[in-house]
Structure 1
């Protein structure tokens, strides 16, 4: 059902918000912080989301950055999930059946859909079902990954309950034509190939940066179930993938005060869906398209703004064929459609006020619709409109204290809106030690399934749902200095989160029930360079989850930890590394504990020439061939494990030009 005559702001925003927005409109012409340039080129200024993430870290949020060098060491068939699994403290990632597959994600004890995923600012959370679908994102065009922990609903909106993961794509950085070619092979006959080319040109308007890339990953995969868990009706016992991605990015600078950035990515994927029973052929044939256009302008020393439009289109054809016990077959789905459209526009302005206070105000408008012919979801549109403001006062009398205050009003078509707020603070105790904290609220809007699912004979969807609400608190201490006269960093964070107005099924209809989820825990991480070339890092997360009034929360480990030791030669020509990750207790919906396992990975690289144009890289995943589970399912007779990736060797050759 589509809502008619929807008024975006039926509840009046606060006086502070209206005043802030009015001030920004009068300021109307400014570009998100003075653009940072590389060799004087505005085309290489950081993206708006990167600036926002750095700003939030400066004012009390915990920020983790995974750099390109780390991404390179994640293996030739690395998707984004693999990189996150290897490098982000406090984030648990368990790909279901290896690369390019669904997974379980938890940031500081959260549910998967409490984490907001962005690709250059475009939401990747599935608007149809609300979960995280990172299974078709290769890393060939990724420059870095930035993670902001804790509730971040003020600037980023819905689903930023436990944090935000911003995937930043590469920009052109060379005036001469250059790029990279990668070829990879793994021990399960997986093949990967990707190429990238870039160049910065000058024209009458300014500098134009152009970048294009292509990626192909293909494998017949491994057997994700043990022989004893497969029924006799299974004929397809491997989980394969075939993913092709094409992308391009253009950034046109206009002098040194403005730029226009255009981005487009097209992914064509054929993904197997493995089953332990009856499976003959189950496949998702997917087309995923993402496009953005961003105008950024610096109108003076104290005023800046950006305008961003985005489009996220997901189209899937689902086929499912079963083997019957008598030898025949049954076609349950034959190219049935499911997918969604997510589009929107965001305007944000930043003003430096008298007294050096900083004010950010913005508006965020989103529309989305989803359809599923398998689980019947009506093709109806939902809309969300928001105003937000973030004040960062400058206290000259206390120069080491950096506080901020933010508020956001979000209105949803048909359902009840949400008003959230956040206080953050960072205090520099010394040059090496800082105290930080956050306290505030966040929210999660209902997805298309919850709003509009309409199975024959019943109306399960509820267009009047209101958002889930959360209250978040984090307190942490960071160290960035020397340990025994060698560089070291460390951090400890105490966190607490309470989520209410949970959306759940009440019989045959989605409702906001009376259940509640409470999470508390501690997150520790550290890194040290004991000698030149050597690095050692470790992190651990311990959380306690309490559910109330019949709520269940499964598959989230109560404890997990990682440690890594690496060495890079003094001339930078070669390096080796090893990592150990341990997962503690992890229970499924049946109360069975399938955790308590350790996995060892190792990697190495070698440049073949002094100019560092030719490189060989090796990844050994699950070096000790540990048999472990990433989840559980039923084979019709009993619960069985989804088997994690067995020992796998991946070799990659890289040519840079």
Structure 2
């Protein structure tokens, strides 16, 4: 069974500190409202938090399109989310290592249209089958966010928002791409908004197919008796969305996505063929209503079903092979229902209140887990007062209680604050607690000599503080925006392995650091942008956190022609030292990427895009497994043709 890989020039970049890796100045709060009436209160949750002191970044559809013809979600996030460290294990559509504001691999909660993708069987992040063509935007809410989002929102929340119908006539696009490794990608989308007796009905459907033989992720000297030296993938996804409005005050949204993935798993020693063959289905139903101008609510139900067949065939001496696993099953089903309301008083006070209920079941034919069922139920509320004597101050306070069936409960609170100093400057901050419930493996695994679960595990608890300063205005008479965030986190009851048994360790981990990002418009065509993050970890009593870089930074320069018919850009990312779970240091690399696009007609129906990844073919290490370096993607050139109608 294969689970997510969970590994626990600065002067040059600083000189280039203002390059376009972020969004336009107003983008974080402009969420591209649909034509369909009756917007849901749910769609405003992330943007609302930006008004009350949380740091919010938005990755736009335009940026997603620049991430490359064969881009998956990890690639998009690696390029465009400030402060997020992403290290795909063996290229596109593979497991990865992620760190936001110094967090561990599963300290960030990943949502798809508000549906949890972090599962309760093993924890970790499962993003390796999500195509970028289905995404409208990515919303990033930073810092401890357990108040509104629950377990695992320790260092932040990333909400991946799928595309919705926008136009009242049949329209869409078709894309075809090819890369220098022979990988191909194709996708299509069609949408339309109709009027009927109830209101507007928006329909959208999409399909994508990505296939590649991949690249060799290990050096020749590290590979012994290996048949399959490249890590290939084939991913097919289709989905659809229907949004029906009922007058101007309510709407029903239905979403479904089906992904079928055949994914190789690369091994450096004795590997003949190892594969994960997977089917994932996600379905949601959301009803939202504005009862009046001061009271609104939504109710969302979801199902996330994951089924994997795992096959592992080893080479043995003499040229023979040995089957270790043959179509062994592991998978899980998460389902739940959430309800949230928002009420505003006549004097401007806002109250948010809700309940979040989740059920889980899983199965694993390889790893013995005695109990593969779990459930969790939460209630939460947040008050956003308006203080007439301080009109520029926007505070909030809230509390959440969550109880897990068969386990301990957790209660957290959160204070946030935004103060507009003037038209250009704002100071923000948040302080509160977050938690991470133990997963089924940690509670119920039963592998004597390897892993033993602990039914008495308590949730991990953390105290989080973030303080930030934002500026938006002019620098040398040019549009300029910048942001600095200082963060600090202390984790107690750390869930860790003590020899072979899962326990709440006596150790304590403290994480602190800062994140800075900025954007400068040199003129109407040229822009510069960058971000950098510094992480400092202090471990006590043997507790450790691994695979988090002490420093990383990215910088980008972009050009758009005056008529916006063509553009180009270049970016560099630098990763300083990273320490593996075996206390081996790696990292210390810089990678340069470039991209360009050209519309072939003034109507902008035909476009050609180019991405060059790892321009100078740098040999660099993204992670380590079995004391062997996993290499990042080598020089890769990708070209894509787009037709829009």
Q: How does 1:178-577 map to 2 (within 5 A)?
A: 178-231=171-224, 233-378=225-370, 380-455=372-447, 460-577=452-569
What are the Cα deviations for residues 441-479 of structure 1, in whole angstroms up to 9, with x where unaligned?
Answer: 000111111122123699822233221101000000011
What are the Cα deviations for residues 37-96 of structure 1, in whole angstroms up to 9, with x where unaligned?
Answer: 655x316x3x65541111111000000100000000000110010011001111000001
What are the Cα deviations for residues 175-234 of structure 1, in whole angstroms up to 9, with x where unaligned?
Answer: 110001000000000000000000001111110000000010000001111111111x10
Alignment of 1:622 onto 2:614: yes
CA contact (8 A) 1:521 1:541 kept: yes
Equivalent position to 1:650, from 623, 626, 638: 638
CA contact (8 A) 1:36 1:42 kept: no
TM-score, L = length of structure 1: 0.92
Measure, in 1, the Cα distance between the counterparts of 2:164 and 2:471: 31
| Cross-structure match for 1:94 | 87
Measure, in 2, the Cα distance between the counterparts of 1:618 and 1:630: 24
Partner SS, residue 53 of structure 1: helix
Deviates more, 1:545-554 or 1:195-204: 545-554
CA contact (8 A) 2:466 2:487 kept: yes
Deviates more, 1:456-465 or 1:92-101: 456-465
CA contact (8 A) 1:49 1:166 kept: no
Measure, in 1, the Cα distance between the counterparts of 2:337 and 2:396: 25
| Cross-structure match for 1:24 | none
Deviation at 1:631, TM superposition (A): 0.9
Q: Which runs of 4+ in 1 moved over 3 A?
A: 35-39, 47-50, 456-459
Measure, in 2, the Cα distance between the counterparts of 1:187 and 1:507: 45
CA contact (8 A) 1:439 1:473 kept: yes
| Cross-structure match for 1:64 | 57
Measure, in 2, the Cα distance between the counterparts of 1:49 and 1:316: 32
| Cross-structure match for 2:67 | 74
Deviation at 1:329, TM superposition (A): 0.9
Gaps of 5+ in 2: 1-30
CA RMSD of aligned residues (A): 1.4
What are the Cα deviations for residues 530-576 of structure 1, in whole angstroms up to 9, with x where unaligned?
Answer: 11111100111001011122112211100000000000101010000
Measure, in 2, the Cα distance between the counterparts of 1:49 and 1:625: 44
Measure, in 1, the Cα distance between the counterparts of 2:435 and 2:34: 37
Deviation at 1:379, TM superposition (A): 5.2
Over 3 Å counting, the alpha-carbon distance change for 1:432 and 1:458 in structure 2 is closer
CA contact (8 A) 2:121 2:372 kept: no
Alignment of 1:42 onto 2:34: no
Measure, in 1, the Cα distance between the counterparts of 2:360 and 2:449: 26
Deviates more, 1:265-274 or 1:500-509: 500-509
Measure, in 1, the Cα distance between the counterparts of 2:370 and 2:148: 31
Measure, in 1, the Cα distance between the counterparts of 2:70 and 2:444: 37
| Cross-structure match for 2:590 | 598
CA contact (8 A) 2:41 2:297 kept: no
CA contact (8 A) 1:50 1:146 kept: no
Deviation at 1:592, TM superposition (A): 2.0
CA contact (8 A) 1:151 1:162 kept: yes
Measure, in 2, the Cα distance between the counterparts of 1:499 and 1:167: 27
| Cross-structure match for 1:151 | 144
Deviation at 1:515, TM superposition (A): 1.9
TM-score, L = length of structure 2: 0.94
Gaps of 5+ in 1: 1-34
Over 3 Å counting, the alpha-carbon distance change for 1:548 and 1:204 in structure 2 is same
| Cross-structure match for 2:23 | none
Alignment of 1:631 onto 2:623: yes
Measure, in 2, the Cα distance between the counterparts of 1:509 and 1:224: 32
CA contact (8 A) 1:342 1:368 kept: yes
Equivalent position to 1:172, from 140, 165, 186: 165
Alignment of 1:52 onto 2:45: yes
CA contact (8 A) 1:370 1:377 kept: no
Over 3 Å counting, the alpha-carbon distance change for 1:37 and 1:563 in structure 2 is closer
CA contact (8 A) 2:451 2:502 kept: no
CA contact (8 A) 1:369 1:448 kept: no
CA contact (8 A) 2:333 2:360 kept: yes
Over 3 Å counting, the alpha-carbon distance change for 1:640 and 1:507 in structure 2 is closer
Measure, in 2, the Cα distance between the counterparts of 1:99 and 1:54: 30
